[in-house]
Amino acid sequence: MNSSVSIKPSDLSLVSDSVPPAQRLPNTLQLKSRLPLDFALAEQVAAHRRAIRAILHGEDSRLLVIVGPCSIHDPHSALEYAQRLAGLASQVSDQMLLVMRAYVEKPRTTVGWKGLAYDPRLDGSDDMAGGLTLSRQLMLEMVRLGLPIATEILQPMAAGYFDDLLSWVAIGARTTESQIHREMASGLPMPVGFKNGTDGGVTVASDAMRSAAHAHRHFGMDRQGHPAIIETQGNRDTHIVLRGGHGGPNYDRQSVANIRGSLEKHALNARIMVDCSHANSAKNPLRQPQVFNDVLTQRLQGDTSLIGMMLESHLFEGCQPLSDSLRYGVSITDGCLGWDDTEQLLGKAVDKLRYR
């Protein structure tokens, strides 16, 4: 009996006709050439990366604060926020290093708006070429303001379009366990924060830190946008970001002590950042100052493992559903702290740090 499968040409045409044609994107080199980072700004980014590394390694006693919108959907309000943050950053620079959240990708458990890089017109048209261009333009403007910027890298293929602009990178709770993201982090030229898992456990983040510290060879894209074997040297400038989990917060003194002990047990430097949002605030953005101040108190009382905090903050507090009539400066993803409360929170914190 002949068990071979026979495929007619007509069958192949039916298969190909049912798949939408692929739309080509510019490669990373093309976009970077159109929107270049000049030498002076490249030196500025390098200096910001060095400053963050110094904080991670205990060579700089300032508090690292990653602050800004949950995700950027409106470039105008994001740039206004960045302008305000740049002014505040210069006022508190003796005690804090403020880093602007420039999150252009939004992880989704099911479906929904995926971020500025994916759908810049907010209408489901998914103009990713336009989204990548707009994201890079906006990040360049923020760098020109003198700010270090941070983002969460969700899609490794997108990272190469703006990796030269970033001073700090987050790997999210749902991707920290991903081998692909660990390999990518091992080759990134800036510090990387791995969030604990959504269950609140820190094992996956610890494993990610160890994996990222080692050299890897992996599939990827070279700078010209061609498929390539990527060889990395390992990234030792990583740390854990505590964001709570299904069981509740994990920023309290006992949780931090347990996590610090676990990191030290695995020969990992105990460099801990606390995300004041998500499960740590019970998803209530107005509780972020409570979390921030609790962690600040622990730090002021001598816990030097707590090197920084993360805040979700926009021009105005709360969030709003995606609609045809959006309020200016209000998040369309997670709820945020408003600018006035953010400025007051950081101002009071810097006074405590100065006069401890």
DSSP states of 229-295? EEE------EEEEE--BTTB---SHHHHHHHHHHHHHTT----EEEESSGGGGTT-GGGHHHHHHHH
pLDDT for 162-188, tens place per residue? 999 999 999 999 999 999 999 999 999
Residue 341: exposed, middle, or buried by beta-carbon count in 10 A (0-12, 13-18, 19+)? middle
Q: Is residue 18 part of a domain?
A: no
* pLDDT-based confidence at residue 225 (cuts at 50, 70, 90): confident
Q: Is residue 21 part of a domain?
A: no
pLDDT of residue 10: 52
pLDDT of residue 1: 47
d(CA 175, CA 356): 38
Q: Is residue 87 part of a domain?
A: yes
Q: Is residue 57 part of a domain?
A: yes
CB atoms inside a 10 Å sphere around CB 44: 18
Q: Contact 77/329 with Cβ under 8 angstroms?
A: yes
Domain, as residue range, for 97: 27-354
CB atoms inside a 10 Å sphere around CB 294: 17
d(CA 33, CA 6): 48
Question: Mean of the pLDDT values across residues 130-153?
Answer: 98
Give the lowest-confidence range in 15-24, 139-148, 214-223, 289-298. 15-24
pLDDT for 300-324, tens place per residue? 999 999 999 999 999 999 999 999 9
CB atoms inside a 10 Å sphere around CB 324: 6
* pLDDT-based confidence at residue 107 (cuts at 50, 70, 90): confident
Distance from first CA to last CA of the chain, Å, rounded? 86
Q: Is residue 111 part of a domain?
A: yes
Strands of the chain (E only): list them: 63-68, 96-101, 149-152, 168-171, 192-195, 217-221, 227-231, 238-242, 272-275, 306-312
Q: Is residue 183 part of a domain?
A: yes
Type of residue found at 215: A
d(CA 61, CA 79): 29
Q: Which two tokens stand for residue 229?
A: 């074997």
Question: Per the structure, how many domains does the chain have?
Answer: 1
Q: Which two tokens stand for residue 49?
A: 């990366």
| DSSP summary character for residue 57 | T
Q: Is residue 4 part of a domain?
A: no
At 314, which CATH number?
3.20.20.70
Which is more confidently placed, 18 or 274?
274
φ, ψ for residue 80 (rounded to 5)? -60, -40
d(CA 55, CA 64): 7
Examine the pLDDT at 226 and tell me if it is beyond 90: no
Examine the pLDDT at 9 and tell me if it is beyond 70: no
* pLDDT-based confidence at residue 4 (cuts at 50, 70, 90): low
Q: Is residue 8 part of a domain?
A: no
Closest residue by Cα to residue 178 from 161, 158, 195:
195
pLDDT for 34-67, tens place per residue? 999 999 999 999 999 999 999 999 999 999 999 9
